[in-house]
Amino acid sequence: MSAPTVRRRRLGGKLRALRGDLTLEEVVEKSGGAFTLSKLSRLERAESAAKARDVSALLDLYGQLGRDEITEDLRDALLVLTKEGAQRGWWHSYRGVLTPMYEDLISLEAEATAVSMWQTGAIPGLLQTADYAREFIRTTLMGEGEQSKVDALVEVRLGRQAVLTRENPLTLWAIIAESAVQTKIGTEGVMRDQLSRLLHMSTRPNINIQIMPNDAPLHIGQVGSYTLLGFDDRPDLDVVHTESLTSSMYVEDRRQVGVYRDGFSRLTATALGVEASIERITEIKDQL
């Protein structure tokens, strides 16, 4: 049995919410034998990959039972989750070096239409140069034998960046702590090239970069970094990703995601404006 991905958990959670106060047994009975108890349980608990026909049939049933929230938009979104949950992405060839949580992040980035991120300690991975990524990964990898994975992890990090330049590119809004921009990683040339890349990427219409100055007043971002992944106009499917030295966590509850979204709005208001941020990055680069 494969481990449940974020997509499958999101699908299962939404199906459970649509069931409402009905028991699984009642749904089985009302389905006329189309579903078994074990199949419904596996779908909701994300214990197996769902089939589009099963999800569609279940949505039809809940619609017949008066679930008014089952709109065509929601149906389309859930069927997309279903179909993409069974697809293999380019990153699967690196399965031996990636954790399941990292695979989830890459797949979510590939599907998302917008990413809003707050970074306190490093340049965001989606904006890193190869040399910066190599130095950062080499320094932060923990555990015996992990250093042998550096080359592959650098390749993965660069591969993730294709979402920014694809035909329908991801919209990225990155707020970066000034201290992260000033941190010396590798030689001066590594950091100079990295700051040049920030300046170059900031010229793309789908990318906004803000700098949180060192002298900014106390703000909500000092609790820690996070990334909000958005999916079209379906905020109920948005996901927040946080990570620490040894683990990652996904926040999927709609109300909690809303807290992070509000927090990001506060951060954009506190950080330097986009133009002022570009000027600050340029100043730091020129000092190297």
Task: For residues 68 and 73, give the distance between their C-alpha atoms in angstroms, rounded to a whole number.
Answer: 12
Number of domains in the chain: 2
Q: Are 277 and 198 in contact (CB under 8 A)?
A: no
Segment 79-121, tens digit of pLDDT: 877 876 656 678 878 878 888 888 889 988 988 899 999 999 9
In a domain, 72, yes or no: yes
In a domain, 51, yes or no: yes
Same domain, yes or no: 158 and 234: yes
In eight-state DSSP terms, residue 241 is E
Same domain, yes or no: 189 and 75: no
Task: For residues 189 and 169, give the distance between their C-alpha atoms in angstroms, rounded to a whole number.
Answer: 29
Same domain, yes or no: 65 and 125: no
Same domain, yes or no: 195 and 80: no
Segment 23-51, tens digit of pLDDT: 999 999 999 888 899 989 988 887 777 88
Q: Are 199 and 288 in contact (CB under 8 A)?
A: no
Same domain, yes or no: 147 and 61: no
pLDDT number for residue 3 = 44
CATH of the domain at 198: 3.30.870
In a domain, 91, yes or no: no
Residues 195-212: what's their mean pLDDT?
98
Residue 233 has pLDDT above 80, yes or no: no
Same domain, yes or no: 57 and 130: no
Residue 2 has pLDDT above 60, yes or no: no
In a domain, 268, yes or no: yes
pLDDT number for residue 14 = 86
In a domain, 1, yes or no: no
Q: Are 261 and 191 in contact (CB under 8 A)?
A: no
Same domain, yes or no: 18 and 141: no
Task: For residues 154 and 201, give the distance between their C-alpha atoms in angstroms, rounded to a whole number.
Answer: 19
* Number of neighbouring beta carbons within 10 Å of residue 207: 20
φ, ψ of residue 184 to 5 degrees: the values are -85, 120
Same domain, yes or no: 143 and 187: yes
In a domain, 90, yes or no: no
CATH of the domain at 19: 1.10.260.40
Domain-terminating residue out of 85, 109, 137: 85
Domain-terminating residue out of 42, 64, 85: 85
CA distances from 94 to 36, 57, 90, 140 (A): 36, 35, 8, 19
* Structural domain for 30, as ranges: 6-85
Residue 4 has pLDDT above 70, yes or no: no
**pTM for the full predicted model:** 0.81
Residue 217 has pLDDT above 90, yes or no: yes
Domain-terminating residue out of 39, 60, 85: 85
* Percent of all residues in the chain with a pLDDT value above 90, rounded to a whole number: 59
Residue 200 has pLDDT above 60, yes or no: yes
Assigned token pair, 41:
């349980």
Residue 266 has pLDDT above 70, yes or no: yes
Same domain, yes or no: 66 and 101: no
pLDDT number for residue 145 = 65
3-class secondary structure, 165? coil
Same domain, yes or no: 124 and 79: no
In a domain, 266, yes or no: yes
Residue 272 has pLDDT above 60, yes or no: yes
Same domain, yes or no: 59 and 108: no
Amino acid occupying residue 79:
L
In a domain, 221, yes or no: yes
Token pair 């108890």 is at which residue? 37
Instruction: With CA atoms as reference, report the closest residue to 40 among 19, 24, 53.
Output: 24
* Percent of all residues in the chain with a pLDDT value above 70, rounded to a whole number: 94
Same domain, yes or no: 113 and 193: yes
